[in-house]
Amino acid sequence: MTGRMELPVSLVMADLQSLAEAIRTRAVSCVEVMSAYLDQIEEFNPKINAIVALQPRDVLLREAGGRDAEIARGQYRGWMHGLPWAVKDLAVTKGIRTTFGSPLFKDYIPTEDGLMVSRLRKAGVVIVGKTNVPEFGCGSQTYNTVYGVTGNAYDPTKTAGGSSGGAASAIALRMLPAADGSDMAGSLRNPAAFNNIYGLRPSFGRVPLGPTDDVFLQNLVYEGPLGRTPRDVAMLLSAQAGYDPRSPLSITQDMASFTAPLDRDFKGARLGWVGDCSGELPIEPEVLEVCRSALASFEAIGCIVEDIPLGFSTERLWKSWLALRSVWAAGHLIDTYKDPAQRPLIKPEIQWEIETALGVSGIDVYNAGVVRSEFYLHVLKLFETYDYLLAPTAQVFPFDKTTHWPTEICGRKTDAYTRWMETAIIWSLAGGPAISVPAGFGKSGLPMGLQIIGRNHAEFAVFQLAHAYHEATRWSEEVLPPLLREV
């Protein structure tokens, strides 16, 4: 070892860029890094159940040793070389059990990797296992009958959010350096907010989905990155993104720019804060209070923050979402639903989605798409005045992990299991990049986040504002989970 880099006493506390550079310069070996992370997993994973399908330690150390041998031969694969990785259990992984959180797939071992996973392997990661998810990724509460429930990094009795809940909780407890995830209704953003880290839902087409995923699905589900800092998230997106001919709607833009420095002057930048959309969305008062207090940090870096109305009916957006979402669920699971032997193996919330979809016509889907297009143009108009938009990431703080979903917010009944996620769903329909950044903590000590929403394809600009905000706040680095503080 050359000893050319100064790293934290614990390797798992190093940021992604520093850790990658230490491996590249051989200041630390891939085996040492793997061993440190496996020790962390052994210590904390039993407390929160974030990483599943964990591979044998000797196999992983042997693979990490192979990555060290590659570097010794001059075969360095890039900044992800030798990093321990766990893939979200909605992405197929060759030779590693992939369940989608469903008992229907509890014994499924794929024979090939998904598109994004193949990119990560080629970049040099060592896959240690999978990160836990709700069944088929449905709902922002990570529980299933295969692996059980995932606890919050800041209070293991609370939910980690979802559907990338396992990934977010594992990152916060330093069991992973960063992680991949996916997002339909907030699945990269909500768990980031609930675990005091960063999660980006990128622009439509930024990260290509696999050739078996239909175009309709690609309109709704986006894969993306989670990390401890905006820089970490940007670095990961550079590896996930990029055109693939098997994904016809993927973006051709070169992604190398995401690894560039993020420093920028934001004096005079105009930010529009939509809050609870003029009272249309039920959001816990303390959530709004924490998010509103975070606005001062944007002002401290020179931004001008203004309260603005969304100016578009959230109920119209909800109905559009409901039609598009339910048809997606039905399309994937209708045959299973029709089978009396298999239907009981699907959780009630998904059965409800399918039953809802059976009452949706082709004209309904068309009209839902029209509303979504109208909203995209409306948001485009907002960006003529504002450089960025801001919104809460969630409507409630992390709730008890035995509760499947909040049935009431501020005295209003929630008529669907995703209704409590509307503040994220709205920006899913907009199609552009939205990153959840830590906003602070409630009186209970639980985290909350807010979203920075940017123009379509403007991920780098979003990263720049998130980075400036991070430098002014450092929530994810300064306020560690109590479990880590106890060690």
Q: How many CA atoms lie within 13 A of 313 on its CB side?
A: 8
Q: CA separation (Å) from 181 to 85, 198, 335, 337, 420?
A: 12, 12, 27, 26, 20
- Whether the ω angle into residue 163 lies within 30 degrees of 0, i.e. cis, is yes
**pLDDT tens across 382-441, in order?**
999 999 999 999 999 999 999 999 999 999 999 999 999 999 999 999 999 999 999 999
Closest alpha carbon to 381 in 227, 245, 272, 253 = 272
d(CA 31, CA 61): 6
Q: What pLDDT does residue 255 have? A: 82
Q: How is the beta sheet containing 84-88 ordered, strand by strand?
A: 51-52, 126-131, 84-88
Q: What pLDDT does residue 253 have? A: 84
Q: What pLDDT does residue 148 have? A: 98
**Which three-class secondary structure state does DSSP give residue 36?**
helix
- Kind and range of the H or E run holding 51: strand 51-52
Q: What pLDDT does residue 1 have? A: 34
What does the block give as tokens for 114?
Answer: 């998904």
Query: Which amino acid does the sequence have at 308?
Result: I
| pTM across the whole model | 0.97
d(CA 330, CA 341): 17
Low-confidence ranges of the chain (pLDDT < 70): 1-9, 211-218, 487
Compute and round to an integer the Cα radius of gyration of the chain: 21
**pLDDT tens across 208-267, in order?**
987 655 666 568 899 999 999 999 999 999 999 999 998 888 999 878 889 999 999 999
d(CA 163, CA 174): 19
Q: What pLDDT does residue 246 have? A: 86
Instruction: State phi, psi for 408 to the nearest 5 degrees.
Output: -155, 140
- Kind and range of the H or E run holding 481: none
Q: What pLDDT does residue 210 have? A: 75
Contact 205, 250 (CB under 8 A): yes
